[in-house]
Amino acid sequence: MAKMKTMDGNNATAHIAYALSETAAIYPITPSSVMGEVMDELAARGQTNVLGEKVTVREMQSEAGAAGAVHGMLSGGSLTSTYTASQGLLLMIPNMYKIAGELLPGVFHVSARALASHALSIFGDHQDVMACRQTGFNFLCSASVQECMDLALVAHLSAIDASLPFCHFFDGFRTSHEVQKIEVIDYKDIKGLVNWDKVAEFRATAMNPEHPHIRGTAQNPDIYFQNCEAANLYYEAVPGIVAENMKKVASITGRKYHLFDYVGHPEADRVIISMGSSCEVIEETVNYLNEKLGERTGLVKVRLFRPFSTEHLLRAIPASVTCLTVLDRTKERGSLGEPLYQDVCTAFLEKGEAPTIVGGRYGLGSKDFTPGMAKAVFDNMKALQPKNHFTVGITDDVTHLSLDVEEEIDTVPAGTVQCKFFGLGADGTVGANKQAVKIIGDNTDMYAQAYFAYDSKKSGGFTVSHLRFGKQPITSSYLITQADYIACHKAAYVTMYDILEGVKEGGTFVLNSNWSLADMEKHLPAAMKRKIARKKLKFYNIDAVKLAQEVGLGGRINMIMQTAFFKLANVIPFEQAVDFLKASIKKTYGLKGDKVVNMNIAAVEKAAPALEEIKYPASWIDTTEGAVVTHCCDDEYIREIV
C-alpha cells in the first residue's frame, strides 16, 4: 500500500538523497538550505541509507568548499551529493568541470534561484542552472513535489549507471517550499533498483594507495583535444540510461515519465514547451482550453535538459502542430534567444523542417505565472505573426516586449477550498499553516497544498500563506486569486494591503484585533467595509494577542488562529481537528516540556469560544467613511515619480 505523506520539495528530494548517499558536503543558502538540514538531522538521528549505513555529513566554509569536498569524496569512491542554489552554485562551477571530466557519479540537487545581477533576489527562476549547463553535468528537471522525489531517484540511479554527474533541479520556493501530499518511496524498493555492479566498478577505480593511478594531469596540445572527445560515448548513452531508469522507477511507483512528456490534444495546433513548475500551470490551462473552449492545445514537459535529445523531443510533439512557443525562466542578455528556445530551434533546424517557433520569458525572481498568462501565450500563437522573444507576467513599457494578459481563468479543480492567511514573519502563522496542511493531508483522504509568499526580510516581514484543500490532486502552482477563507493576523494590514482582494461571494473573513464594532467603524477602510457588505462575507474577529498572553505564549498567536481556521473553514469536522491539533502539539513541543505543551493546548481550547461574529450594519454596502488607506500605490511620490 502506498505511503502518503505531506512534505515540501526540499524534504522529498532529501529523502532520496539520503537513501543513495554515503557522504554529503553542505553549505546553507536559500532556498536549498532545508535539504542540507534534513540530511544532517537524519544522520544525527542515526537513520541508515540503502546500504545500511549512516550518511557522513560535513558542513564546509562555503559552497566552493562543499564542491571541493564532493570532488574529493567522489574521488575516494564514496557516493556523494550536495544541495545549493544561485551564487552558491556558481561557486561550484570550477569543481563541476573536474567532476564531470573525471566521470564521477555525483548528484547536485538545486532549488533553482535567481542570480544577483542588477539586484539581489532570493527567489526562484532558472538563471543559476542555465549558467552551469556547459560544465558537463547532466540536467534533470522536476515540476512538482512528487516529481522531486521520483526524479531525484532517477538522477541518482542514472549517475551511477552513466558514470557521470547529474544536476537535479526544481523551482526555488515554488517547488522547494510548496507543501503537497505525495507518495513516499520506500528505501527497500529503492535498494532493488540500484545497479550494484556499477557501484562496485566506481569503487574499484577510486583513489587508493593499494592500487595507485594517475589523474588530474596537465595535458599538452598533442592529446588534450582527443581526450575531450573521448567522453562522447558516455554522454550519447545518457538519454537511454535516463529513460530506462524512469521505467525502473515507474515499476515501483506506477508513475510514468519520459525525457519529454506530452499532454494535451492528440492533434494540437499550438503547443508550449517548458520545464519546471510552469508545466503544472500550463497543463491546467491546456485542459481548460481543450475541454471548455474546444481548442486544440498541448504542452511538452522537458525532463532531461542536458544532454538535449532531439530524437526524443521531436517524437513527443504532435505532427499537427503549426506553432510552438518555448518558455524559458531565465534571461541570457545579448543572446539570440534563451537556452531552451535555442535548443528547440536547433533541433528543428537539423531536422530540416519546422513549424513557426517563438520564444518567451516568464517568472524571473519568482514572478507568479498564472493560467491567464498561459492562455495569453496560447492566444499569441493564433496571430498571423506571433510576437517572438516576448515577456509575460509583467508590463514592459520600455521595450514593449510583453504580452497582454486579458483575463484570468479559473482552472482550479471544482470543490477545492482556497484559503489565504496574512501574517507577520516569526508570528507563527507560516508554521501553523504547515501544521494545518500536514494534519489534513496525513490524517484524511483529502489532498492539500500550501505555498508561502515571504517578504525577503523573513522574520518581521510580510507573509501570505496560500492553502488549498480538495478531493482531487491539486496542481495549481500559482497564488490564490479566488479565496473562500481569508484571515488577517495583524490588524494594521487592513490599511496597508488589499486584504480582501479576490474573496468569493459569501466567503469568510477573520481578523485578529482588539477592536469592537465601534472601533472597526474607525479603523477599517471604507473600501473594505463595502466589500464585506457587497460580498455578503461572514466576518469574525478574535483578540488572539490577548488570548496568547493569557495562556503564557506571548506574541505567538499561531495555535489560536489555526484553531479559528479549523472552526470556520469546515475543511474537516472541528472536533476531529482539535484532537489532531492536540496530538500535533505534543509531537512538536514535547521535547520543550509539559509547560509549553499545556500552554499551546490551552490556547486551542480557548480559541473557539473567543471568536466573535461581527454583525456589520447594512450601511456598509455604500459607505464612504473609514480609515485612511496607506497602500504604497497611494503614496504620492511612488505614484507620481516612480
Question: In this predicted structure, what is the pLDDT of residue 553?
Answer: 87
CA 267 to chain CA centroid, Å, is 31
d(CA 350, CA 341): 14
Question: In this predicted structure, what is the pLDDT of residue 353?
Answer: 87
Residue 577: CB atoms within 10 A of its CB come to: 24
pLDDT of residue 633 exceeding 90:
no
pLDDT of residue 281 exceeding 80:
yes
pLDDT of residue 446 exceeding 50:
yes
Residues 6+ apart with CB under 8 A from 189: 252
Question: In this predicted structure, what is the pLDDT of residue 157?
Answer: 98
* CB-CB contact of 458 with 425 (8 Å): yes
* CB-CB contact of 436 with 241 (8 Å): no
- How much of the chain, in percent, has pLDDT values that exceed 70? 97
Q: Which of 375-384, 422-431, 482-491, 505-514 has the lowest mean pLDDT?
A: 422-431
The four Cα atoms 81, 306, 296, 269 give a dihedral, to 10 degrees, of 170
d(CA 232, CA 570): 59
- pLDDT tens sequence across 356-407: 999 999 999 999 999 999 999 999 999 999 999 999 999 999 999 999 999 9
- pLDDT tens sequence across 231-266: 999 999 999 999 999 999 999 999 999 999 999 999
Question: In this predicted structure, what is the pLDDT of residue 555?
Answer: 78
Comparing CA positions, the residue from 547, 543, 557 lying closest to residue 427 is 557
Element (H, E) at 427: none
CA 38 to chain CA centroid, Å, is 17
pLDDT of residue 641 exceeding 60:
no
Residue 253: CB atoms within 10 A of its CB come to: 17
pLDDT of residue 211 exceeding 90:
no
Comparing CA positions, the residue from 542, 537, 546 lying closest to residue 562 is 542
Element (H, E) at 60: none
Q: Which domains does the chain have, with CATH numbers?
A: 3-207+219-252 (3.40.50.970), 260-392 (3.40.50.920), 417-632 (3.40.920.10)
Query: Residue 226: pLDDT band by 50, 70, 90 thresholds?
Result: very high
* CB-CB contact of 583 with 438 (8 Å): no
- Encode 183-213: b = buried (16+ Cβ within 10 Å), e = exposed: ebbebeebeebbbeebbeebeebeeeeeeee
pLDDT of residue 173 exceeding 80:
yes
d(CA 569, CA 470): 13
pLDDT of residue 290 exceeding 50:
yes
- pLDDT tens sequence across 3-14: 899 999 999 999
Distance, first Cα to last Cα, the chain: 58
pLDDT of residue 328 exceeding 80:
yes
pLDDT of residue 640 exceeding 90:
no
- pLDDT tens sequence across 566-600: 999 988 999 999 999 999 899 888 888 999 999 99
Query: Residue 429: pLDDT band by 50, 70, 90 thresholds?
Result: confident
Q: How is residue 482 written as a grid cell?
A: 479566488
- pLDDT tens sequence across 291-313: 999 999 999 999 999 999 999 99
pLDDT of residue 637 exceeding 50:
no
Q: Which of 81-85, 276-280, 449-453 has the lowest mean pLDDT?
A: 449-453
DSSP 92-143: THHHHHHHHHTT---EEEEEE----SSS---S--SHHHHTTTTSS-EEEE--
Question: In this predicted structure, what is the pLDDT of residue 499?
Answer: 95
Residue 114's identity, in one-letter code, is A
